[in-house]
Amino acid sequence: MAPFSFSRAMRMSYSPAPSEEVSSEKLLGPESNEDGEALSNRDTIIAIERVKRRWKLLALSSSGLVAVLLLALTWMFASFKSREVPSLYSPAEVAVEYETVVFHNNFWEDRTPYQGPPTDEVDMAWDALYKDVGVIKVDGRTARQVPNMTLPIPGEEDSYILGIEVFHQLHCLNSIRKGLYPDRYQETKDMSDNEKRLYWIHIEHCVDSIRQTIQCYSDINTIPWVISPRHHRPAPDAHTTHMCRRFDKIQEWAKERAFTQKEYDLRLAAQQQG
Domain shared by 110 and 242, yes or no: yes
Domain shared by 137 and 188, yes or no: yes
Which among 83, 111, 131 is the end of a domain? 83
Count of domains forming the chain: 2
pLDDT of residue 40: 65
DSSP strands (E only) in the chain: 98-102, 135-139, 159-163, 225-227, 234-236, 241-245
Domain span including residue 146: 94-273
Domain shared by 112 and 185, yes or no: yes
Does 9 fall in a domain?
Answer: no
28-54 pLDDT, tens digit per residue, is 444 455 555 555 666 677 777 777 677
Which among 83, 106, 128 is the end of a domain? 83
166-225 pLDDT, tens digit per residue, is 999 999 999 999 999 999 999 899 999 999 999 999 999 999 999 999 999 999 999 999
Domain shared by 211 and 124, yes or no: yes
Q: Which of 150, 130, 132, 148 is nearest to 140 (CA)?
A: 150
